Amino acid sequence: MKNNIEKAYFLKLTRKILSWYDLHSRNLPWRETQKPYNIWISEIILQQTRVEQGWNHYVNFIKRFPTVKELHEAENDEVLLYWKGLGYYSRALNLHKASHQIIEEYNGEFPDTFAGLQNLKGVGKYTAAAIASISYGERVPAIDGNFYRVFSRILADDFDIASPKAYSYFYDLILPFVDKDRPGDFNQAVMDIGSQVCKPKNPDCVNCPVNEECLAYATNRIQELPVKSKKIKVETLDLHYYFVKYGDHFLIRQRDESFIWKKLYEFPDEIPDELKDCIVFEKTVQHKLTHKTLNITFSRVEPEDEMIFEKLSSNGNYIIVDIEESHKKSFPKPLEKIIQEWD
């Protein structure tokens, strides 16, 4: 009898979630197709990015790179340029690397399983589950922060979502709810409920489609859940950049793939002692990343001799650009602001 009760509960809850989605699903450009390429691009863009911000980037990215073939054939710099404004540029680099995998290792075809998709560079369990369920109909939950929050509350479950075991625990917990005929719609429905209704703060419980089944709502525990005990340790770093400018030109170079801001362009981070007398202005800004707080000092350097400027360029493997040329390069946001301010 217990199993029958549980099965009826799962079916009722799933039916309500899908019925709500049929009426209230968001009209988003990546939902106009089930092509794995488009779903992949949208999911990578939406990591650490709000839908409103990611919308135009998705449209522009797909317009320029409509298939994995065009993405594979593009240069790194161009891929980064179309990622400009989204931040977390390692996502774009991983997209490009994965496009090479798909073309060179999979004959241009995406892996078509949850497990296989995780072999692609930058594709974790959540993204793999989203593609597998939406594009291939695999019955697998796409577990992200929305899923943790929605199901912690529905089931009044206080399992710590910061625990290393959280994913496997919630995977087993949520799997019975995933509709076998519409797994992709189910996953997108929970994403929408989590972002529009069951929000972290001030959730709209009155209009929630499953408020009658929600144990946290019934016991007034909504604000207690989900439980997340682990604190993110934020590292503080001090950086110093020199904006070396002569006439209309200044020096930049491309980062390697170590440390932060992989493959983006930057200013010199050191100059000869004799050039320090040419510093005309300095300012310090703070820039916050997920796990780091950067205190960045910028020094504007204006050498009087063009030969010194060119010598510094050759000795430091820097390239000389003007403002127009710099617009074709991708810079970290705080450096881009300095270019705009100090041009």
Q: Does 6 participate in catalysis according to the annotation?
A: no
Distance CA 80, CA 97 (A): 12
Residue 141's nearest CA partner among 98, 188, 101, 96 is 188
Which residue has 């390239």 as its token pair? 319
Distance CA 113, CA 288 (A): 36
Distance CA 25, CA 187 (A): 12
Distance CA 18, CA 255 (A): 46
Distance CA 339, CA 27 (A): 37
In contact, 307 and 242? CB cutoff 8 Å: no
Compute how many other C-beta atoms are within 10 angstroms of the C-beta atom of residue 251.
23
Rounded to whole angstroms, what are the CA distances from 334 to 87, 143, 149, 296?
11, 33, 33, 9
- Please identify which of the residues 6, 43, 282, 310 carries the catalytic annotation: 43
In contact, 187 and 134? CB cutoff 8 Å: yes
Coil, strand, or helix at residue 244? strand
Distance CA 35, CA 42 (A): 11
In contact, 239 and 294? CB cutoff 8 Å: yes
Instruction: Indicate the Cα dihedral angle 34, 37, 41, 43, nearest 10°.
Output: 50
Residue 18's nearest CA partner among 171, 190, 148 is 190
Task: For Cα atoms 50, 52, 53, give the angle at the middle one, nearest 5 degrees.
Answer: 70
Q: Give the CB-side neighbour count of residue 261, counting CA atoms within 13 A.
A: 21
Residue numbers annotated as active site: 43
